[in-house]
C-alpha cells in the first residue's frame, strides 16, 4: 500500500470525491470556498468552477455537460460550459443556519443528499432525494450533520450517518421506488480520539469505507458492520473517500486545510491535500450519474 499526495490544493474543506467512469475524470469540491474541481486520474488537467455558495456535494448529470450541486441554499444545476448555476429547489429556505451537505446517486440516477446545522450542534437537518424529474422528497429529519450516503452493490442497502451520533446507519433500500425503511445501526465510529464519521463509499465486495475526520484514519467495515481494516493517514482532517482510476482500484481521499469551527484541531503542512492510496488490492464500484 502506498499513500501519495495527488494534488496539494489546500482546500479549506475538501470533500465529495466523485470518479466519473465515462469521462475518466475525478471531481471533488471545496465546501467552504464554493468550488468544484476536476482532474485526471494522475492529478493533471486541473480545472475549477465557482458556485454561488458553500457546497456539500455534487454529481455529474447524465449528459456529462453539467452537475447537480448541493449548496447552502438548496439544490442547483451547474453548467460546465458556461459556469452558470441555476436554482432547482431550496427545501430549507426558512432555515438560516443549515446547508445541504454530503450526497450520492443511486443506480437509477436519483440524487440523495442531507443537510446539516452549520454550528454542528442542533438536529436541524434532513435527508432529501432528488429524482430525475427534478422533484425533491424529504426522507428523514432531526439530523445534526448528514454524511456518508452510499449504496450496497446489490442495491438493497442504503448507508447514511449523522456524524455526531457516532453511528453509521443501514436502511433497506427499494431501488424501484427510491424508498428507505428499517433504519438500524450498522456500525459505530471510534470517537475516543475525537474522531467522527464523515464521507463514505462502498467497494465491489460490499465493504463500507469511511473517513474518520479529526482522527486521521480511513476505516473499512465488513457487510456485517465489523471493523475490517484501518489506514492511518498523514493528516487528521480526512473528510471523504472514493474509488477511481481506470481500474477503480485507487482510493482518493479528500482533506481540509482549515477546520470549520474553532473547537476542531489544526493539522500539518499536508493539510488540504487530495491523497491517492494505491496497492489496496480492492476495487470500487462505478459511481452513477444524476438522471436529471
Q: Does the residue 262 lie in any domain?
A: yes
Residue 2 pLDDT = 98
The Cα 253–Cα 26 span in angstroms is 11
- Reported residue count of the chain is 292
The beta-carbon contacts of 169-172 under 8 Å, at least 24 apart in sequence, are 170/225
For 118-136, write each residue's pLDDT tens digit: 888 889 999 999 999 999 9
Domain CATH for 142: 2.120.10.30
Q: How many CB atoms are closer than 10 A to CB 87?
A: 12
The Cα 148–Cα 250 span in angstroms is 19
DSSP letter for each residue of 216-258: TEEEEE-TTS-EEEEEE-SSS-EEEEEEESTTS-EEEEEE-SS
Q: Does the residue 87 lie in any domain?
A: yes
Residue 118 pLDDT = 87
Residue 174 pLDDT > 90: yes
Q: Does the residue 190 lie in any domain?
A: yes
For 79-91, write each residue's pLDDT tens digit: 999 999 999 999 9
Residue 264 pLDDT = 73
Residue 114 pLDDT = 97
Closest-CA residue to 125 (of 113, 108, 107, 110):
113
Residue 166 pLDDT > 90: no
Residue 258 pLDDT = 87
Q: Domain tally for the chain? A: 1
Q: Does the residue 73 lie in any domain?
A: yes
Mean local confidence (pLDDT), 146-169: 95
Geometric angle at alpha carbon 197, from 253 and 62, rounded to 5°: 55
Binning pLDDT at 50, 70 and 90, where does residue 27 land? Answer: very high
Q: Does the residue 83 lie in any domain?
A: yes
The boundaries of the domain holding residue 250 are 2-278
For cell 496539494, the residue is 8
SS3 state at 118: coil
Catalytic residues: 198
CB 189 within 8 A of CB 167: yes
CA 258 from chain centre, in angstroms, equals: 18
CB 107 within 8 A of CB 121: no
For 234-266, write each residue's pLDDT tens digit: 999 999 999 999 999 999 999 999 877 777 777
Q: Does the residue 285 lie in any domain?
A: no
Can you give the pTM of this predicted structure?
0.97
Q: Does the residue 60 lie in any domain?
A: yes
Mean local confidence (pLDDT), 65-93: 97
Q: Is the dihedral of CA 169, 173, 177, 182 positive or negative?
A: negative
Mean local confidence (pLDDT), 183-210: 96
Q: Does the residue 284 lie in any domain?
A: no
The Cα 126–Cα 138 span in angstroms is 7
Residue 207 pLDDT = 98
The C-alpha cell of 246 is what? 481506470
Mean pLDDT of the chain: 96
Amino acid at each position: 500500500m502506498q499513500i501519495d499526495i495527488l494534488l496539494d490544493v489546500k482546500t479549506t474543506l475538501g470533500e465529495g470525491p466523485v470518479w466519473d467512469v465515462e469521462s475518466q475524470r475525478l471531481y471533488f469540491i471545496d465546501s467552504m470556498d464554493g468550488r468544484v474541481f476536476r482532474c485526471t486520474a494522475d492529478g493533471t488537467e486541473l480545472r475549477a468552477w465557482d458556485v454561488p455558495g458553500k457546497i456539500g456535494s455534487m454529481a455529474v448529470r447524465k449528459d456529462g455537460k453539467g452537475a447537480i450541486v448541493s449548496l447552502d441554499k438548496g439544490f442547483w444545476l451547474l453548467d460546465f460550459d458556461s459556469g452558470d448555476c441555476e436554482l432547482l429547489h431550496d427545501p430549507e429556505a426558512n432555515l438560516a443556519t443549515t446547508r445541504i451537505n454530503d450526497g450520492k446517486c443511486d443506480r437509477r440516477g436519483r440524487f440523495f443528499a442531507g443537510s446539516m446545522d452549520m454550528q454542528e450542534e442542533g438536529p436541524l437537518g434532513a435527508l432529501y432525494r432528488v429524482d430525475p424529474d427534478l422533484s425533491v422528497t424529504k426522507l428523514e429529519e432531526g439530523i445534526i450533520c448528514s454524511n456518508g450516503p452510499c449504496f450496497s452493490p446489490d442495491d438493497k442497502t442504503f448507508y447514511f450517518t449523522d456524524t455526531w451520533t457516532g453511528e453509521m446507519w443501514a436502511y433497506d433500500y427499494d431501488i424501484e421506488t427510491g424508498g428507505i425503511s428499517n433504519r438500524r445501526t450498522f456500525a459505530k465510529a471510534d470517537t475516543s480520539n475525537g474522531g467522527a464519521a464523515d464521507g463514505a463509499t462502498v467497494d465491489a465486495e460490499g465493504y463500507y469505507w469511511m473517513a474518520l475526520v479529526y482522527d486521521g484514519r480511513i476505516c473499512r467495515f465488513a457487510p456485517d458492520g465489523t471493523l475490517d481494516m484501518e489506514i492511518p493517514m498523514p493528516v487528521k482532517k480526512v473528510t471523504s473517500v472514493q474509488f477511481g482510476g481506470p481500474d477503480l482500484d485507487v482510493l482518493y481521499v479528500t482533506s481540509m486545510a482549515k477546520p470549520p469551527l474553532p473547537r476542531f484541531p489544526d493539522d500539518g503542512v499536508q493539510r488540504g491535500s487530495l491523497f491517492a492510496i494505491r496497492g489496496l488490492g480492492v476495487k470500487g464500484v462505478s459511481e452513477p450519474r444524476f438522471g436529471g
